[in-house]
A = this chain, B = another copy of it.
Amino acid sequence: MTKTRTAVHHDASSSSGDPQAIGRMVTSYDVAKLAGVSQSAVSRCFTPGKSVSERMRTKIMRAADELGYQPNAIARMLITKRSNLIAVIVSNLSVNPDFASILSQHMIERGLNLLFFTLDQDADADRAIQQLWQYRVDGVISAAELSVEQIGVLRERGIPLVFINRLYDVMGANSVGCDHAEGEGWLIEKLVSAGHSRFGIVAGPEASVVSRMRLRGALDKLAALGCAAPQVVHSDFTYAGGREAMRGLCGGKKRPDAIVCANDLMAIGCIDEARLALSLKVPDDVSVVGFDGYAPGQWGGYQLTTVRQPVASMVKAAVDMLVARIEEPSMATEKRVFSGELVEGSSARID
Chain A residues at the B interface, C-beta cutoff of 8 Å: 20, 23, 25, 68, 70-75, 77-78, 81, 83, 88, 92, 97, 100-101, 104-105, 108, 113-118, 120, 124, 127, 130-131, 133-136, 156-158, 239, 243, 268, 272-273, 275-277, 295-296, 299-301
Give the chain B neighbours of A133 by CB distance below 8 A: 70
Q: Evaluate whether A74 and B77 lie within 8 angstroms (CB atoms) in the complex, with A104-B117, A105-B118, A124-B108 already known.
A: yes
A101 to B144, alpha carbons, bound, how many Å?
13
Contact A134 B72 (CB under 8 A): yes
A288 to chain B, nearest CB (A): 14
Say which residue of B74, B118, B130, B275 sits within 8 Å of A101 (CB atoms). Answer: B118
Give the chain B neighbours of A299 by CB distance below 8 A: 239, 268, 272
Contact A136 B78 (CB under 8 A): no
Q: Evaluate whether A74 and B70 lie within 8 angstroms (CB atoms) in the complex, with A23-B158, A105-B118, A135-B113 already known.
A: no
Give the chain B neighbours of A113 by CB distance below 8 A: 115, 131, 135
What are 30 sample pairs from A and B whose C-beta atoms fall under 8 A apart? A20-B156, A68-B157, A70-B130, A70-B133, A70-B134, A71-B134, A72-B78, A73-B136, A74-B83, A74-B136, A78-B78, A92-B101, A97-B97, A100-B116, A104-B116, A104-B117, A104-B118, A108-B127, A113-B115, A113-B131, A114-B115, A114-B117, A115-B115, A115-B116, A239-B296, A239-B299, A272-B300, A272-B301, A276-B301, A277-B300
Give the chain B neighbours of A25 by CB distance below 8 A: 81
Contact B73 A75 (CB under 8 A): no
A30 to chain B, nearest CB (A): 15
A318 to B14, alpha carbons, bound, how many Å?
40
A14 to chain B, nearest CB (A): 22
